[in-house]
Structures are given as structure tokens and as C-alpha cells.
Structure 1
Amino acid sequence: MKSAVENLNPTRVRLTVEVPFEELKASLDAAYKKINQQIQVPGFRKGKVPARVIDQRFGRGAVLEEAVNDALPKLYQSAIEEGELNPLGQPEVDITELKDNEQLTFTAEVDIRPELEIPDYTGIEVEVEAAEVSDADVDEAVEQLRERFATTSVVERAAAEGDVVKLDLEAKVDGEVLADGVAEGIDYTIGSGELLEGIDEAVKGLSAEESATFTSELKGGSAAGKEAEVAVKVNTVSARELPELDDDFAQLASEFDTIAELREDSRKRLEQSKKYEQATKAQENVLEKLIELTEVPIPEKLLEDEIQTRKHNLVNHQLGQMGMDLATYLQMQDKTEEEFDAELKEQAEKGIQTQFILDELVSREKLNVNQEELTEHLMRRAQSSGMSPDQFAQAVVEGGQVPMLVGEVARGKALALVVESATVKDTNGELVDLDDEEDEEEGAAEADAAAESEDTESKDAEKADDKKSDA
């Protein structure tokens, strides 16, 4: 077999493969055997029909077609290995010549991983926000904890800002009550902004058993995006009472004896969170710089497939689970379809670029993944998926996804290597020491770039879900 490689562009090649007919003998024998099992010829036992009879009865062309179909995958793979290529996706194969007892010639066009020149990344410098915790931050954290221990009691007065009201709602569009527009016994905190626009103004000043109507644009459900006339009835009005910020509260809400100890613990937790955010942002910024410095050609077909996959996942999985279509989602995100498509393309490009760059670093730096690292990563992925480690591991093995997980860990190590070599300063001009966060961050980021943008879409979808629930 002879093969030649023609570079059509930096990410696509055409293989021309010439195969002497004798190299098709095994596939021809297999073709005759397969056909033998499928036919009945008078005078011959099943499976014992001679080759010449098959040729006469069914035509030599049918045998050749079967043999070529059997041989092509193996011949293509041999040509790929001979050319030392890294193909992406399935090839487009064209049989250009088939001479019986002489030669088979075919071409195969396929996308390949581009050859990348990774620049010297040791000089990368990035800036992140300083990990500072103010007294106001601590006050806010303690206040949030205090809110969790608030109590309510029914009062005999008109509803005011901050009160909790129990409501019945009925939404009409064009005078018709919507099938999914009726809700009873909803608890709502006035001023929280968690329900329909205009409801705060409607219920303020109402006492128990009083009603009001207002108009609002529905954010979800069967009439999403339409103006509705909403009738609201107040069943009860309850005042919220917050506990005093004293030592008794500290003992109620925590393991600490004094409010001072509780505040100090809150400060430490906030500092840890800020450092974690700082390390995460450092990774993101270093990755952005690395992408800017590296020229990464992207195969068109791969980009198209990645865009379609991301769009399919968003529409059919994330939005589908919320009972929302793309049009409603775009309306809630205040985006046009053109803006959405442009963002999706940008995210897909970044994902592909990052994966190519980090895979190249894995190869260049000869980074390996050991069993302990793979197990730790599997545990983290299982936790984020909501499955037990055993269930997740079984699903990964049955789905043949182990190589994918190994790749994620290896790319995480590659990114950690680049971040370790970079200079990271905060907005105060101070050097940021990421050593304390490295182990945790290496697993958290995983730097599987393709997933990064998808997470962005997921977060947008979650925000949309929050808004949808308001309706």
C-alpha cells in the first residue's frame, strides 16, 4: 500500500491511498463468506457455494463492493498511522479507481489537529482583585446569617415593605384565565423582587382578605412574554422579626459563644473565599493571555459541530428541563438570536483553542496522569453530578469516557504548570502567592476549555430559570 498526504490547509488534509489488489485478499475472502451465509443456490449446501458461482449469479461487483467496504477502515487507519496524523472526526472517502485484480485507489479528506507553536509562557503577567475583606463584608455576612433566623408573626395591619404576605394569584390574558396562571397560598416577602413586576406596589397597603389587580409581563409559562392582568388577594400579613446581634444569637446560630467569635469566623471564611476566587480568576486570566499569544487554527467542521452541540445541550437539556424554549430564554436574557449565535461561536472557539493548546502542552511537557489523580478527579465530578462515586465511575466505564477524564486531568495539570510560571499581582501591586490554592484549584478549574464556555451558558440558563419561577 502507498499513501500520500496533501495539506489542504493547516487543519485539513487529503490522503491518497493506492492498494495492490493482493492486499484485498482477506477482505475478498470475508466477502464471499458473508454472501455465502446469505444466499441459497440449488444444488449447493448453504455456505458451500463456490466463488465462481457467486460471481455468475450475483455479479463480481457485489463481491468487490462488500470487500472494499470491509477493507476501507483498516486501510484508512494504516494510512493515518503512516502519515503520523491526528485526525478529528470522520473522513470523507471517495473511491477514485477500482480495477479488478489490479488496484484500488481512494482519497480521504479529514480534519486534523493543527501543529502549534507554544510561545514562552514564563513571562505572562496578569492582575487580579486584591483578596481584601472589609468590616462591611463581615457585617453583610453576619446579617445574612441573621436573616436565616428571622421569625414571622401574623399582624392585624396593612402590608408594608419587608413583610411576608400569603397570596393567591390569578393571571388573565385577553380576558381568559390561564391554565397555568393560578396559584394559591404563595409566601412572598415584599420588596424581594422574587415574583412579578408590579406586585410590590399592588400589595403594599393591603390588609388580610383584601385584593388588587395589576398588569405585568409574564416571564414564563404558556403565555411567556405577554401582558397579563393579575388579580392578587392577600390572605395574611406577617411581620418579620430579626434576632438581636448578641452572644445569645451567636450560640443559637453557630458553635461560638460570643458574637465577636462569630464575626471573626465569618471574616476567616470570607478571606478563604476571596483567595479561592482570586486563584480562579488568576487561572482564567493566564489562560486568556496564553490564547492571545498562541495562533490556533480551528477546523471549520469541528467548530460547526461544537456550536451545534452546545446549542443542542442548552435548548434540549438545560432549557428543556425548565419547560422553556430558546425564544423565551433570549427574551429573558435581552439578547437577539444573532447576538446569541455570536456569543456561542466565540465560546466554542475559545473552548477548542484552549483544548488544543493544553493538549499540546501535555504532549510537550510529557505530563502523565496517575491513578490517584484520576480517582480524585472522578470523585469531584461525581459530587458535581449528584451521583455517588460508584455510580459515576460505572457510568464513565460503560460509556467509554475514561480517556476523556484522563484528558481533563492532564489539561488541568498543563494549565497549573503555566499558572505556576506566570507572575500574578493584585490590584494593590502585591505579588499573589497561589501555592496554597494550587491543589484545590488544579481540580476545580480542570481547564477543560470546552466545558468552560458551556458552564457560562449553564449559569445564564440558571438565571433564566430563577426569573421563570417568578412568573
Structure 2
Amino acid sequence: FRLSFPADYPLKEISGKEILFKIKLKKISEKELPELNDEFAKRVGKVDSVEKLKEEVKKNLEAQRVEEAEAEVRDALIQQASESVTVDIPDALVKREADQMIDELSRSLKKSNVTLEQYLKNTGKDTEGLREELKPSASKRVKAKLVLRAMADKEKMEISEDELQTEMKALATGIERPEEEFIRSIDEAGRDYIMDYLLRRKALDFLVAEAKISKER
């Protein structure tokens, strides 16, 4: 079959051209689904019966819906709080946040076995162009962080050593290093970063709780 590519297609070798694709069909397979029985339930869900497996799936889906709804509420509250104040945001903070967003994108792409370099090539961008593209979102994120931190300071919120240790242990999960070794490797700047994150999270929890109280009234 033939496929036409637009003139602005990222890959210059085929942009604005009509390419002929030839496909050789080697095999047709049909996937056979396993029988939905108690044996299947034990194998996949580690439960005794199909009924219990269905209950488990239902519970997980409900928990996911609740989590998504709560995330939407939190995002809306952050946006509302950010829009209600005027903050001068230093360019250096926006650039640093944009770089962090690029790092997050890189880690996300890596899960799909795609490198950041491949992504940039396929989208016809470079790192600087991507950074500029992300700056508006980065600016909003920085503003939200500053607002939440200001709220934490206003409410005189603090993070205990136990809370800090709990968070560091959570971060150690999934890392191919002993937990204690990982925690010891976190320097003062790293601890301060985690403390700042926990304060902002606590401020957001406070914001959500206040919103619920206002709604009940």
C-alpha cells in the first residue's frame, strides 16, 4: 500500500513524499483466552474463586476511580489557589522546573524502551526547543509549589523525623540497593528537597480538608 507523508513530517527523508510499503504476511494467529474458572482465579488473582476475583477487580476499579476523582479535586484546588495570588517567578526556577519535566519525560519514555534522543528526533525538536515548549506548564507548577509552601509556612506546618524517614523508605522501594544504604546516601540537600515536598503535600491535604469543611457547611 502507499502512504503520503506531509511536507512538515519530522523525518526529512520521507517528508512530502509518497512511500510504497510492501508487507509479507507470514503467519496468522488466534489468541485463545483461558477459561474463567477457580483455577484461573488462583493463578492470576491469588484468590480461591472466580467470585472473589470479580470482587477484587471491582474493589480495585472503585479505588482507582476514587483516586482519580481525588486527584482532579486536588488539581482544581491548586489551580484555584494559584490563580488567587500574584507571584513573581524567577526565570531560573522556571528553567529548573522545565528541566525536571524533561527528566520526568525521559523516565516515562524509558519504560517504553524509547530514549529522549529518539523522541526528540521523531518530533523534530531539540532539548532547548522542548524546554521552551514546557516553560508555560513549568511556570504554573513553580507557582503552585510556591503557593503551597507559603501556605505551609503560614499554618506553621512541620515535618517530623519519623515522617521524613517514612518517605525515604518509600523512595527506597524498588531501588536495587539496600534500604539503609540508600537512605544514608541522601545528603542534606536531598533531605531538604524531600522535606519541602512533604510540606507542600501536607499543605495540599490541609487545602482539601478545608474545602470539604466549607462544602459541608
User: TM-score when scaled to structure 2?
Assistant: 0.72
1:416 corresponds to 2:205 = yes
Name the CA shift for 1:300/1:418 in 2 (closer, same or farther; >3 Å): same
> Displacement, 1:344?
1.0
Count of matched residue pairs: 204
Distance across 2 between alignment mates of 1:277 and 1:266: 16
Structure 2 counterparts to residues 87-106 of structure 1, below 5 A:
none
CA change 1:257–1:330 in 2 (3 A) is same
Question: Residues 329, 296 of structure 1: CA spacing in aligned structure 2 closer, same or farther, 3 A cutoff?
Answer: farther
Provide the C-alpha distance between the structure 1 equivalents of 2:4 and 2:121, rounded to a whole number of angstroms: 12
Q: 1:246 to 1:325 in 2, by over 3 A?
A: closer
Alpha-carbon shift at residue 249 of structure 1 (Å): 3.7
**Do the aligned residues in 2 keep the contact of 1:374 with 1:406 (CA within 8 Å)?**
yes
SS for the counterpart of 2:121 is: helix
- Of 30, 49, 55, 1:264 maps to 55
Residue in structure 1 matched with residue 195 of structure 2 by the alignment: 406
> What is the letter of the counterpart of residue 328 of structure 1?
K
Q: Is the 8 Å Cα contact of residues 319 and 325 (structure 1) preserved in structure 2?
A: no
Out of 288-297 and 225-234, give the one that drifted further. Answer: 225-234
- Distance in 1, matches of 2:178 and 2:77, equals 33
Superposed, which structure 2 residues align to 1:168-247 within 5 Å? 214=1, 226-227=13-14, 231-247=22-38
- Counterpart CA distance in 1 for 2:140 and 2:131 is 14
Aligned partner letter, 2:88: P
> Secondary structure of the equivalent of 2:162?
helix
Superposition deviation, residue 281 in structure 1:
2.1
- Matched residues in 2 for 1:261 and 1:316: separation? 39
Distance in 1, matches of 2:70 and 2:57, equals 20
2:106–2:116 contact (8 Å) kept in structure 1: no
Instruction: Answer whether contact 1:247 1:259 (CA < 8 A) is retained.
Output: yes
Q: Secondary structure of the residue that 2:29 maps to in structure 1?
A: strand
Q: 1:237 to 1:342 in 2, by over 3 A?
A: same
Cα offset, 1:287, TM superposition: 1.0
Task: Give deviations 1:326-383, integer Å, cap 9, x for gaps.
Answer: 643535xxx9x99956651122211221221122122211111111110111122223
Of 375, 379, 403, 2:165 maps to 375
Q: Which has the higher helix share?
A: 2
The 8 Å contact of residues 291 and 353 in structure 1, kept in 2 or not, is answered as yes
How far apart in 2 are the matches of 1:258 and 1:248? 8
Secondary structure, in 3 states, of the residue corresponding to 2:31? strand
Q: 1:229 to 1:354 in 2, by over 3 A?
A: same
Name the larger-Rg structure.
Answer: 1
Shift of residue 314, structure 1, vs aligned partner: 6.7
CA contact (8 A) 1:362 1:411 kept: yes
- Unpaired segments ≥5 residues, structure 2: none
Distance 2:135 2:40 in 1: 51
**1:407-449 Cα shifts (integer Å, max 9, x gaps):** 1111111111111101399xxxxx79xxxxxxxxxxxxxxxxx
Determine if the alignment matches structure 1 residue 324 to structure 2 residue 113. no
Residue of structure 1 in register with 2:139 after alignment: 349
Shift of 1:256: 3.8
* Other-structure match for 1:276: 67
Identical positions, percent: 22
Q: CA–CA distance in 1 between the matches of 2:52 and 2:40?
A: 12
Q: 1:315 touches 1:325 (CA, 8 Å); kept in 2?
A: no
Contact 1:216 1:230 survives alignment (8 Å): yes
- Say whether the 8 Å CA contact 1:217–1:225 is kept in structure 2: no
Higher strand share: 1
> Cα deviations across residues 309-339 of structure 1 (Å, max 9, x unaligned)?
34764798777971635643535xxx9x999
Q: How does 1:428-447 map to 2 (within 5 A)?
A: none
Give the drift of 1:277.
Answer: 1.8
Partner of 1:110: none
CA distance in 1 between partners of 2:107 and 2:61 (Å): 34
| TM-score, reference length from structure 1 | 0.37
The root-mean-square deviation of aligned C-alpha atoms, in Å, is 3.9
Secondary structure in structure 1 of the residue aligned to 2:117: coil
- Which structure 1 segments of 5+ residues have no match? 1-213, 426-430, 433-471
1:271 maps to a residue whose letter is E
The 3 A distance-change label for structure 1 pair 353 and 300 is same
